[in-house]
Amino acid sequence: KKTSDSIRELIGLQPTVATMVELDENNEVISQKEVQIAEINLEDKLLVKPGDKIPVDGKVVGGESYVDESMINGEPIPKVKKDGEEVFAGTINQDGVLIISALKIGSETVLSNIIRLVEKAQSSRPPVQKFANTIVTYFIPVILTIAIIVFCIWYFILGATLLFSLTCLISILVVACPCALGLATPTAVTVGVGRAAEFGILIKNGDTLENAGQIDVAAFDKTGTITEGKPEVDDVIAYGIDENELITLAASVEQNSNHPIAKAIVRKAGGLELLNTVDFENVTGKGIKAEIDGKTVLAGNKALMQSNDVEISEDILSTFDDLENQSKTIILLAVDDAVCGILSLSDKVKPNSKRTIEELHKMDIETYMLTGDNESTALSVAGDVGIDNVEAGILPENKLDIVHNIQSNGTKKVLFTGDGINDAPALTQADIGVAMGNGTDIAMESGDIVVMEGDLENVVAAVQFSQKVMRRIKENIFWAFAYNSILIPVAAGVLYPTFGIMFRPEFAGLAMALSSVTVISLSLLLKRYVPPIKRAKN
């Protein structure tokens, strides 16, 4: 079910129809028709309207627009696409009309490749061997053999009565009933999984519990996992006006845009009263232009300022460069050809990310960041939280390959945590895939563990739960072995010649029941367990 659900979600991202167009020599549309995706051939020209999904992998040959590629690279900020740039099937065109030429179709698209990677990784995962079940498999014939041997010794060699010899045989079979061994694993797993759920950690199966406590490497996606997954305003620097006025102006011109940066600026304005704008113009790849009270207001990058003949002083340029070197997104605001302020934005690191990485290091677990974002931003975030290794600017198949390479020598188990469609292959390939509960349905289907509410500390808590449950399973198995090691010889009559002690079948049955009750009671103690990372927090 896990496989079929996640694959079905991925397939649902693929559009089923597209608009095919015919262009004249000036690249103007002279005709258009709706076609099925299967009818598209290489180099066919396709029209993509705002809000539509890109139908195939292609190259832009007309128009300019922002495209949301978060399903491919996991990044929340859309990318500008113009002539000559590649676009990918399943990504979403936002605000402009694009004409693309088909480069890859059908099973050759990046999205189709992601689907294949998930299918391959899920089908190749080996089953985990159940230690307790293996013991039980051999335990029963061994006990039968012991019981028969004991009967033969008492009856044929020592000359005991048939009743006495049969009593020993039956007592051994009753006292050695493998109920406690059979209960050792499932009771601990059931209670442990239920207790973990109370902390917002959904563990999908018992195999996951066994593997999670043995990981050597923890790898993380960046956006939405280590960071919040959406930009927020960091710095507000005003020139000649106060900060509230600057934020009001910026939010007023941005309020009609759906761009994540625009939404962040409007959020920053909070309860401030926004101004009415006219002649709103979204300049793709540069910013926004509008009029407020007869004044021209620009909000965007340096290219927008330059194209509107706005001079930027050396002091402002220096501040701009300093903020840009911190891997922040910078918005300049100008009123009537004069820059009046700077806003910087960044995708903030989650408050508990650093502590999560520190706790993993205390457990001698190596850490990686695998992200589609640029290297400077990735290194900056990794430095903030203390991650050991960084792989930046990578595609979904690269994430899978890196996880596979870490696993390839057979000595390291990998936990991967992510929240996006682009993380699905790596989540499936990893020994343990942890999906953030605030992420996509596909990621949650591909993961072995779902961490609700995006609480990254629960990744550590999941590992600690696993280690605790596995310790309890081993304690249960030890108790069951100790019980059998002591009582089987007693049931066999070894104390009878010296002390006259005979272990009758009814007492053997009582002892067997007590053994099972003990194992269940030990497992139920897990209901009181609190992971150390949660105890420290409280």
Which of 52, 207, 221, 373 is flagged as catalytic?
A: 221
User: Does residue 228 fall inside a structural domain?
Assistant: no
User: Does residue 140 fall inside a structural domain?
Assistant: yes
pLDDT of residue 120: 58
Q: pLDDT tens digit string along 257-299?
A: 878 889 999 999 988 999 999 888 888 888 999 999 999 999 9
Q: Does 256 share its domain with 243?
A: yes
Q: pLDDT tens digit string along 137-170?
A: 787 898 899 999 999 999 999 989 999 999 999 9
User: Does residue 375 fall inside a structural domain?
Assistant: yes
Q: 60 has which bridge partners? A: 100
Q: Does 504 share its domain with 406?
A: no
**pLDDT band for position 446 (50/70/90)?**
confident
State which of 318, 347, 376 marks the end of a domain.
347
State which of 435, 454, 473 marks the end of a domain.
454
Closest Cα to residue 95, out of 300, 285, 299, 332? Answer: 285
pLDDT of residue 132: 61
Q: Does 336 share its domain with 366?
A: no
Q: Rounded distance, CA 285 to CA 66, Å? A: 7
- The strand pair at 217-220 and 414-418 is best described as parallel
Average pLDDT, the chain: 86
Q: Does 448 share its domain with 469?
A: no
Q: What angle do CA 208, 211, 212 make, to 5 degrees?
A: 80
User: Does residue 229 fall inside a structural domain?
Assistant: no
Going from the C-alpha of 268 to that of each of 66, 252, 260, 326, 452, the distances in angstroms are 23, 11, 12, 20, 27
Q: Does 428 share its domain with 357?
A: yes
Report the CATH number at residue 449.
3.40.50.1000
Percent of the chain, pLDDT > 70?
A: 91
Percent of the chain, pLDDT > 90?
A: 45
pTM confidence score: 0.74
Q: pLDDT tens digit string along 406-438?
A: 998 778 999 999 987 778 889 989 999 998 876
User: Does residue 442 fall inside a structural domain?
Assistant: yes
> For residue 69, what are the contacts with CB-CB under 8 A and spacing of at least 6?
75, 78, 79, 88, 91
Q: Does 341 share its domain with 359?
A: no
441 is catalytic: no
Q: Does 247 share its domain with 338?
A: yes
Q: Does 69 share its domain with 85?
A: yes
Structure tokens at 163: 């009743």
For 323-456, strand residue ranges (E) read 329-335, 338-349, 366-370, 389-391, 414-418, 432-436, 449-451
Residue 164 is part of which domain span?
Answer: 131-188+463-537
- Stated as kind and residue range, the H or E segment containing 297 is strand 295-300
pLDDT of residue 1: 44
DSSP state of 107: G
Q: Where is pLDDT greater, at 409 or 303? A: 303
Report the CATH number at residue 58.
2.70.150.10
> For residue 405, what are the contacts with CB-CB under 8 A and spacing of at least 6?
none
User: Does residue 515 fall inside a structural domain?
Assistant: yes
User: Does residue 254 fall inside a structural domain?
Assistant: yes
Q: Does 375 share its domain with 298?
A: no
pLDDT of residue 155: 92
pLDDT of 119 above 70: no
Q: 342 has which bridge partners? A: 237, 332
pLDDT of residue 118: 57
Q: Where is pLDDT greater, at 211 or 129? A: 211
Report the CATH number at residue 250.
3.40.1110.10
pLDDT of 356 above 80: yes
Q: pLDDT tens digit string along 172-185?
A: 888 887 777 778 88
Q: Does 243 share its domain with 338?
A: yes
Q: Does 429 share its domain with 340?
A: no
> For residue 72, what are the contacts with CB-CB under 8 A and spacing of at least 6?
88, 90, 91, 110, 372, 395, 396, 421, 422
Q: Does 209 share its domain with 355?
A: yes
Q: Rounded distance, CA 264 to CA 249, Å? A: 14
**pLDDT band for position 381 (50/70/90)?**
very high
User: Does residue 124 fall inside a structural domain?
Assistant: no
Tell me which of 41-45, 46-50, 407-411 is least confident. 407-411
State which of 454, 483, 510 marks the end of a domain.
454
Tally of domains within the chain: 4
